[in-house]
């Protein structure tokens, strides 16, 4: 319990398929760039290797070429209020 009130958590999702190939490609490109930006730190921490990264990059590039590719991503966003402090 972090002390918040009126907490609301909502799921948000992205579903992109062949009906909107430009947006799907844009999102896949964004995620590839995001993965690329984290590579050095994650490799230095021992979470990945150059070989693993190269495979992932190859797979993402191949995925962008496929007409039947689907991008699906869900995240949750929560909002809340801190309680109002009463003055003495």
**pLDDT of 87 above 80:** no
Write the pLDDT tens digit of every residue in 40-76.
999 999 999 999 999 999 999 999 999 999 999 999 9
Smallest CA-to-CA distance from 31 within 75, 73, 83 is with 73
Contacts 24+ apart (CB under 8 A), 55-62: 57/32, 60/28, 60/31, 60/32, 60/35, 61/32
Write the pLDDT tens digit of every residue in 2-35.
889 999 999 999 999 999 999 999 999 999 999 9
**pLDDT of 85 above 90:** no
In contact, 60 and 30? CB cutoff 8 Å: no
**pLDDT of 1 above 80:** no
**pLDDT of 88 above 80:** no
């Amino acid at each position: 319990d972090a002390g918040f009130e009126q907490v609301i958590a909502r799921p948000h999702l992205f579903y992109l398929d062949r009906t909107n190939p430009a947006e799907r490609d844009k999102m896949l490109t964004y995620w590839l760039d995001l993965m690329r930006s984290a590579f050095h730190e994650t490799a230095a921490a021992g979470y990945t290797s150059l070989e693993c990264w190269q495979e992932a990059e190859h797979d993402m590039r191949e995925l962008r070429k496929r007409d039947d590719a689907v991008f699906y991503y869900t995240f949750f966003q929560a909002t809340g209020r801190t309680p109002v402090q009463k003055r003495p």
